[in-house]
């Protein structure tokens, strides 16, 4: 299970709604162990466990710093949309029900409206 610092992340996310993404981006990778990133770019979707990302990049890095450096292996662009997911899947797909998710990076068209 997650460390004390983020152990109540599901409660925080449900209370803050869309504002939870800004808070979560400040967390260290090591504090987000057990959660997943869902990355969307050029018609590809990649699910990445944050435990693996912490091992590769260093667990003391803030999620925001790591997100700003992520690039698609196909097109080289940053991901268009990113979600932090409690489980590997954000939508129902013939298995256990999905957990909560928080959108961290909106689609570019949504970012222009904000």
What is the Cα–Cα distance from 78 to 70, expressed in whole angstroms? 6
What pLDDT digit, counting tens, does each position of 13-38 carry? Answer: 655 555 566 778 888 999 888 899 99
14 belongs to a structural domain: no
Average pLDDT, the chain: 78
What is the Cα–Cα distance from 110 to 1, expressed in whole angstroms? 33
How many CB atoms neighbour CB 25 within 10 A? 19
102 belongs to a structural domain: yes
Q: Into how many domains does the chain fold?
A: 1
pLDDT tier for residue 91 given thresholds of 50, 70 and 90:
confident
Asked if the model's pLDDT at residue 81 lies above 60, the reply is yes
Distance of CA 32 to the CA centre of its chain: 9
Per-residue pLDDT, averaged over 53-61, amounts to 92
Beta strands in 9-72 (DSSP E): 36-41, 44-49
Query: Domain containing 44: what range?
Result: 28-113
68 belongs to a structural domain: yes
Asked if the model's pLDDT at residue 55 lies above 50, the reply is yes
18 belongs to a structural domain: no
pLDDT value of residue 107: 41
pLDDT value of residue 19: 59
pTM for this predicted structure: 0.73
């Amino acid at each position: 299970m997650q460390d004390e610092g983020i152990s109540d992340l599901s409660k925080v996310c449900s209370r803050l709604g869309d504002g939870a993404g800004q808070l979560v981006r400040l967390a260290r990778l090591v504090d987000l162990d057990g959660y997943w990133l869902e990355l969307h770019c050029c018609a590809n979707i990649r699910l990445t466990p944050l435990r693996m990302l912490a091992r590769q990049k260093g667990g003391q890095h803030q999620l925001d710093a790591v997100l700003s450096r992520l690039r698609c292996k196909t097109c080289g662009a940053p991901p268009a949309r990113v979600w932090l997911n409690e489980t590997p899947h954000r939508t129902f797909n013939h298995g256990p029900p999905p957990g909560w998710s928080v959108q961290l990076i909106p689609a570019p068209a949504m970012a222009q409206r904000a």
